[in-house]
């Protein structure tokens, strides 16, 4: 599961829900949209860009393939993806996790390749 919230300075990011130990706050908060791919290998987050008002920055975390472990899923790599939308209110991976679809509050859609 992927969790964060718009009103928090910190969040949990990707966590395993079948682990009894509590998750640690290890991820930036304030994401406006999150997505987890079907395999649980990538998590995406749309963050407000503090330098550009409502413009959003997209973060993609590549997650550990280990199905067992602590509550927090290990992030192996993080990439930031540029986009042309004014804001982002929803994001989703395609079935093969090669693209990230982004929806703006004005109805515009942009599909971006995931590196």
The domain locations on the chain are 2-113
Q: What is the average pLDDT value for the chain, to the nearest integer?
A: 87
Residue 86: phi, psi to the nearest 5? -75, -35
Q: How many CB atoms lie within 10 A of CB 63?
A: 21
Instruction: Tell me the CB-side half-sphere exposure of residue 88, using CA atoms within 13 A.
Output: 32
Model pLDDT, residue 52: 64
Place of tokens 């693209």: 99
pLDDT tens column, 44-93: 999 877 666 656 789 999 999 988 888 889 999 999 998 989 889 999 99
Structure tokens at 47: 């963050």
- Prediction pTM value: 0.87
Q: 51 Cβ partners below 8 Å, 6+ apart? A: none
Query: What 3 state SS string does 3-60 have?
Result: ECCCCCCEECEEECCCCCCCCCCCEECCCCEEEECCCCCEEEEEEECCCCCCCEEEEE
Beta bridge pairs of residue 10? 28
Task: For residue 98, list its beta bridge partners.
Answer: none
9 pLDDT above the threshold of 80: no
């Amino acid at each position: 599961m992927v969790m964060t919230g718009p009103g928090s300075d910190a969040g949990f990011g990707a966590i395993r829900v079948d682990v009894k130990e509590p998750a640690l706050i290890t991820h930036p908060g304030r994401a406006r949209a999150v997505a987890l791919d079907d395999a649980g290998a990538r998590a995406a987050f749309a963050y407000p860009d503090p330098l550009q008002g409502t413009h959003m920055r997209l973060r993609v975390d590549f997650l550990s393939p280990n199905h067992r472990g602590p509550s927090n899923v290990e992030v192996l790599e993080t990439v930031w993806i540029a986009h042309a939308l004014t804001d982002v209110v929803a994001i989703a991976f395609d079935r093969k996790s090669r693209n990230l679809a982004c929806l703006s509050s004005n109805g515009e859609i942009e599909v971006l390749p995931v590196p």
